[in-house]
Amino acid sequence: MPRLLNTAYEPELVPGKRSALFGMAMTEKQGGSDVRAGTTAARPIGGDEYELTGHKWFCSAPMSDAFLVLARAPGGLSCFLLPRLLPDGSHNEIRIRRLKDKVGNRADASSEVEYEGARAHLVGEEGRGVRTIIEMVTRTRLDSVLGSTAGMRQATAEAAWHVRHRAAFGARLIDQPLMTQVIADLQLETEAATATSLRLARAYDEDATAEEVAFRRLATAVAKYWICKRGPGHAYEAMECLGGNGYTEAFPLGMRYREQPVMAIWEGSGNVIALDVLRALSRDPQSFEAFDAELARSAGADRRLDTHVRRTRELIGELSRDDARDARARELVTALALAVQGSLLVRAAPPSVADAFIGSRLGGDGHLYGVLPLGTDAASIAARA
C-alpha cells in the first residue's frame, strides 16, 4: 500500500522501488462484460500463492509493476495480485503478445498477455473474485465519469476560445446568435457533467456515511452510463466549432474526439451498465432510497423537474412489473440521469443555467446541440464557457 499510494513516478522495472503502478486484467477473448466466462487457471502452490496459466485479451498499462487479475482457482473465479518481478528480482512469467492498435487512447498502451505459470497472491476469498475486484472497478467507473467530464470541459473551452477569436461574415463567431446557442449548449452539458461527477466523487470520500455509500451504488452506474455516453457527441460538436481546423491533428479536439468513446466502452459498456442499474434497483433498495433523497432536495424548485422526477419514479414502478424490463433499461437510466443532473443544477448553478438545462433536456427538442428554449440567456451561459 505505501508503494501504491506514493505519487513518485519510477518507470524502471527494478526491485526496491518506492512507488508502484497497478494495472488490471479481467477481459479474455470470450468475455469482457461476462468475466465469469474467464478460463485462466490458478493452481495453488502453498500459502496464498498460486500459479496462473492463460491469457487476457485486454491488459492496459502492461508496464505496470503489478496487476489485479481474475483467474479460476479450485474454489472458483478469484482475484489475484500478480507482480511483474518476483522477490528474487527475476521476471514473472508474463508474455506481452501484442499491443492493441487503438482508435484513440494511444498514449496508454493496451496489450494482449499470456501467463505461463505466473506467480500470484490471492486477494480476498477464493471463489469471490468478482465481488473482490468490483471494489476496484467501481472506482475506475468513477474515474471514467471524471475523465469524460474533464474531456467535455476541454472541448467546450477550446470551442469557446476559437469562436471568440474567429470572425466570419463580418462579426466574431461567438456574437453570431446561432453559434452563441451552440457554445451555451456545450457549456450546459459540461456544467451538468461537472456537478454530477463531483457530487458522485464526494460519495467516495473516506468519511462517506452509509447513505452516501448507498447513493454511490446507483449513482455511479447512472453517471457512468450517461456522462460517458454524452462525451463523444459533445466532442464532435465542439470540434465542428473549429471548422476545418478542428478535424486536423494540429488542433487538440481530434484527439479528444477519439478518446471520449473509450470512457463508455471500458469499465462496463453502456448496456451492461444500464442492466446494472436495474440490478441495483431490484437488489439494493437502499441505493434508490439514497438516490431519491438526493432528488427530493430540489423538490419544489422547478415544476418541470418535479414532473420529470415523478414520472421517473412511476417508470421504476412500471418496470418492476414489466417482464420486458431489460429492453427498457436505457430509457430508465436516461430518466434517472437527467433527474439527478437537473436536481443538482437547480441547487448549485445560476438560475439561467438550470433553467436552460431543464428546458432543453426535459421535454425540449435537444436531439442535437444548439437548440435551446426560446428566451434562454445564451450569451451569459456562453460567457461561462
Ligand X SMILES: Cc1cc2nc3c(=O)[nH]c(=O)nc-3n(C[C@H](O)[C@H](O)[C@H](O)COP(=O)(O)OP(=O)(O)OC[C@H]3O[C@@H](n4cnc5c(N)ncnc54)[C@H](O)[C@@H]3O)c2cc1C
- Say how far apart CA 323 and CA 313 lie, in whole Å: 18
What are the angstrom distances between the C-alpha of 256 and each of 8, 150, 153, 225?
27, 10, 11, 19
Phi, psi dihedral angles at 315 (to 5 degrees):
-60, -40
Torsional class of 281: left (φ above 0), alpha (ψ -120 to 50), beta (otherwise):
alpha
Largest CA-CA distance found in the chain, in angstroms, rounded: 77
Task: Please count the other Cβ atoms lying within 10 Å of the Cβ belonging to residue 374.
Answer: 5
At residue 259, the 3 state secondary structure works out as: helix
Residue with smaller CB distance to ligand X, 32 or 151 = 32
For residues 127 and 76, the answer to whether their CB atoms sit within 8 Å is yes
Least distance in angstroms from the C-beta of 254 to ligand X: 17
Residue with smaller CB distance to ligand X, 37 or 371 = 37
Residue with smaller CB distance to ligand X, 109 or 208 = 109
Residue with smaller CB distance to ligand X, 34 or 322 = 34
What residues line the site for ligand X (CB under 6 A)?
23-27, 31-34, 58-60, 102, 105, 110, 262, 265-266, 269-272, 275
Using Cβ positions, the residue closest to ligand X within the complex turns out to be 32
Least distance in angstroms from the C-beta of 341 to ligand X: 22
Least distance in angstroms from the C-beta of 258 to ligand X: 11
Amino acid at 343: S
What are the angstrom distances between the C-alpha of 140 and each of 133, 144, 201, 295, 383?
11, 6, 11, 25, 33
Least distance in angstroms from the C-beta of 164 to ligand X: 34
Residue with smaller CB distance to ligand X, 59 or 346 = 59
Least distance in angstroms from the C-beta of 381 to ligand X: 34
Residue with smaller CB distance to ligand X, 25 or 122 = 25
Least distance in angstroms from the C-beta of 206 to ligand X: 26
- Say how far apart CA 176 and CA 168 lie, in whole Å: 9
